[in-house]
Amino acid sequence: MNDKPATGFAQDIDAMILARAQRGDMAAFEEIYRRYGRACFQLALRLTGQRQTAEDLVHEAFLKMMDTIASYRGEAPFGAWFKRLTANAGIDWLRRQRHVADTGAEASFEQIAAAEADPAGLVDADSLLAHLPPRARTIVVLHELEGYTHAELAGLFGQSESYSKSILARALKRLHALAAPAASTSRVAL
């Protein structure tokens, strides 16, 4: 049995805090921020790869949450609901950046492949993600780290499941190729 306390979006929220937040209580919103702010920021940072943009996404996600929490009926755990809200904010950001077009995603892969990756820069998983085009990175983060299914990704991006599977396969192949030298260096160093 796993007794480890839940962290990030997996944390539960007190019914009283939720009820107060639904009435627009600022102290309750602050408690929600204390609980989920970090998870929200981490997801935003992984999705965008840029600290400033991640801050903007957290800003946007919390404002959206404050505006819509009154309509939250508890069909899904609060953390899962809020995670989806953050992911949606990330996808909206991608759309605004015009990274969502099919041709854009394919071209970005080729552009990034053409650029020489510096193995010294691949110090951790997050910096590895920075070597993916924005849309591919979003698919990797949501599928591999946040547990989204291909059907859900297809819905979010307005594409077919096979499209999301294809982008994911290409992205993972690329990440493994990039990480191979970095991982061996890391093992030697350890």
- How many Cβ atoms from other residues are within 10 Å of residue 2's Cβ? 5
* 167 touches another protein by CB under 8 A: no
Task: Report how far residue 50's alpha carbon sits from residue 95's, in angstroms, rounded to the nearest whole number.
Answer: 16
Per-residue DSSP letter, 132: S
Beta strands in 116-173 (DSSP E): none
39 in Cβ contact with 9 (< 8 Å): yes
Q: In the complex with another protein, which residue's Cβ is closer, 62 or 157?
A: 62
| Interface with another protein in residues 117-156 (CB under 8 A) | 122-128, 140, 144-145
Q: How far is the CB of 58 from another protein (least distance, A)?
A: 6
Binding of another protein by 21 (CB under 8 A): no
CA-to-CA distance for 49 and 57, rounded, in angstroms?
Answer: 12
161 binds another protein (CB under 8 A): no
Q: Which residues bind another protein (CB under 8 A)?
A: 24, 26, 29-30, 33, 37-38, 40-42, 45, 55, 58-59, 62-63, 66, 122-128, 140, 144-145, 169, 172-173, 175-176, 179, 182-183, 186-187
